[in-house]
Chains A and B, each alone.
Chain A
Amino acid sequence: MEITERVESAGFPADSFKGVFLLAKGRSLLAKRNLMGWVYVSPWIIGFLCFQAFPIFYSFYISLHKWDMLRKPTFLGLSNYTSLVSDPRFLISLRNTFLFMLFSMGLGISLGIFIAALLAEKMKGTHIYRTLFYLPNLVVPVAFGMMMRPIFAGQDYGLVNIILSRLGVANFQWLDNPSTGIWVVIITNFWFIGACMIIFLAGIKSINRAYYEAAEIDGAGWFRRFFNITIPLLGPVIFFQTVSGLIYALQIFDIPISLANLGGSVHTTMGRNDSLASLIFYLYFLGFREWKMGHASAVGWVVFLIGLLFTFVIIWVLRRSWYSQDAN
């Protein structure tokens, strides 16, 4: 009798063998079993320590030195960092990356939500549109950049220039001019809107139809519904996409390097006149072309800190997006 009572009070049906078993064997078995959790998680912990935590701190140590791989490292203190401030290549990388972050995140995400909302409606051909939008995301970015390069090339036979010359506008050296190089990267980023659009689409589809129907009956137009229902309820998704977009934009590298491809294996500048510089491109350049490991590590840490900073900013600005529609 006592046993069945104890079993019941633990939440199992009185005649449940499972309940008796678990209770009888006691908590020790469960606890021991739970400790196995550590075994399963250990690979990740080891990986994290070896490939992420330790390297990032060691990289800071490296950044305090002048270190190429051949000679002994010399201690420099923070001068790798202070020299960045007056380094024109760093400054243009910084400017380019910031511009890219601003436009790819701001416009990219807004456009992604908008298109997703359009495609969520019952319309003919949504399937085709979805496929077409997502297709560029499947393409190897290097191939994509190399495809875009001749299109934006400065000579007469660049496609954009051909079109412009038909309209009477003079040829422009899009890729070679340091002020416009990054705009090519920004524009080409709009080809990749499919990935974030599809995620938003899934999010929109999971919103309860009742909200929309109620709004429709109350006479709300499409845009009203979009701004007052869709966007607020997509809060968590928007948050996640913004942070992912931040990380992606911060480490943009594939597209600039393939746009900068000067037709040979040796890149001596990041695009002509460093027009296509980005922070990570610069890191690659310093570290693996000029073998200035200390300098490159300093750039790496700047990237890391910028990422941290912006993540906190985003968390703070979008902190009210933490709820989902169930919490309403």
Chain B
Amino acid sequence: MTDLRKQLEFDQSLSELGKSKKANWGRGCAHLFLTTYCILIIIPFVWLIVSSLKNMGQYYNTDLLNVWFPWPLHFENYPKALQTVPLFRYLWNSIWLATVQMILTVISSAFIAYGLSRFQFKGRDTIFIILIASMMLPVQVTQIPLFMFYSKIGFVNSFKPLIIPQFFGSAWYVFLIRQFMVGLPKDLDESAMIDGANTFTIFTRIILPQTKPALMVAGLFIFLYSWKDVWGPLIYLQSGKFYTLPLGLLFFTGPTRVEYTVELAAIVIALVPTVLLYFMGQKYLEKGISIADLK
């Protein structure tokens, strides 16, 4: 009885700690700081959306009321933006490229990660270390020789240079998937081995299904990264018809000089897809962060 009482008092005193004046002050300050930061983050986006609905006259007007609450709203900036450059085609190019890169990279990286996690061979650890080291090489540094090579064989101005490397895995995702695979139990492997299954069957029937969380996370990140990427497309996609969304945005002014507010509308359009994707794939992203943290 007395133990229970002591326990209750102890619990109460701990919660008192949380309720103390000092803690409440601290909590308030934290909220203030976080809210201010978040508001600052949002302001440019709000400004962007509001300004994309102005015409140029309203844009140049620096009256405070007009900057934030223009009237009338010019929704026609959006159809104009879509007409100036083929934004839908760029969108499609981005989607297509990102999907292809995602599928290829996930499959090849999982393949390689399988080799690094489920086999013991001499030199495996060396390869792993080189893998990690290779993550630190910025891709742009190797670009010039590759570009020269690709132009010799006529691959420039096509999607090929952006797709071919994906067959060979990508260090970061190999690392991620490998870490995950290492934690998988080995019993199923061994039973299958005894039953005479070869390594490939074990890979496809046993390991892959279990690795799904890591694969989905990797896939999501690859898709996102490809979507945001502008370096590769900038160098290798030279005809307008191949442009991806970031590229199309960068070169937005078509043959006719457009109004700046129309360009702002185009930017808003470019922002939408990833935000949508985020809210759809939110829980996978969070799982991914915790998996990525498995050291």
Residues of B within 8 A of A44 (CB): 108, 112, 127, 131, 168-169, 171, 174
State whether the Cβ of B2 lies closer than 8 Å to any Cβ in chain A.
no
Q: For window 180-226 of chain A, which residues contact chain B by CB distance below 8 Å?
A: 191, 198-199, 201-203, 205-206, 216-217, 221-222
Partner of A41, one of B22, B116, B289: B116
Number of inter-chain CB pairs below 8 Å: 268
B17 shortest CB reach to chain A, Å: 6
Q: For window 230-282 of chain B, which residues contact chain A by CB distance below 8 Å?
A: 230-231, 234-235, 245-247, 249-251, 253, 257, 260, 263-264, 267, 270-271, 274-275, 277-278
B89 shortest CB reach to chain A, Å: 16
B261 shortest CB reach to chain A, Å: 10
State whether the Cβ of B103 lies closer than 8 Å to any Cβ in chain A.
no
Residues of A within 8 A of B190 (CB): 18, 22
Using CB atoms and an 8 Å cutoff, list the residues of chain B in contact with chain A.
14, 17, 22, 26-27, 30-31, 33-34, 37-38, 41-42, 44-45, 47-48, 51, 59-62, 64, 67, 108, 111-112, 114-116, 118-121, 124, 127, 130-131, 134-148, 151, 165, 167-169, 171, 174, 190-191, 193-194, 199, 203, 224, 227-228, 230-231, 234-235, 245-247, 249-251, 253, 257, 260, 263-264, 267, 270-271, 274-275, 277-278, 289-290, 292-293, 295
B144 shortest CB reach to chain A, Å: 5
Q: How far is the CA of A45 from the CA of B131 in the complex (A)?
A: 9
| Sample of 20 further A-B pairs with CB below 8 A, known A37-B124, A159-B47, A254-B230 | A36-B199, A37-B119, A40-B116, A41-B116, A42-B115, A44-B108, A44-B131, A51-B168, A69-B151, A119-B34, A132-B41, A135-B275, A142-B247, A143-B271, A191-B44, A202-B289, A202-B293, A206-B290, A253-B140, A253-B230
State whether the Cβ of A17 lies closer than 8 Å to any Cβ in chain B.
yes
Interface bin, chain A: 35 or more
User: SS class of chain A's interface: helix, strand, loop or mixed?
Assistant: helix
> Cβ of B30 and Cβ of A140 under 8 Å apart?
no
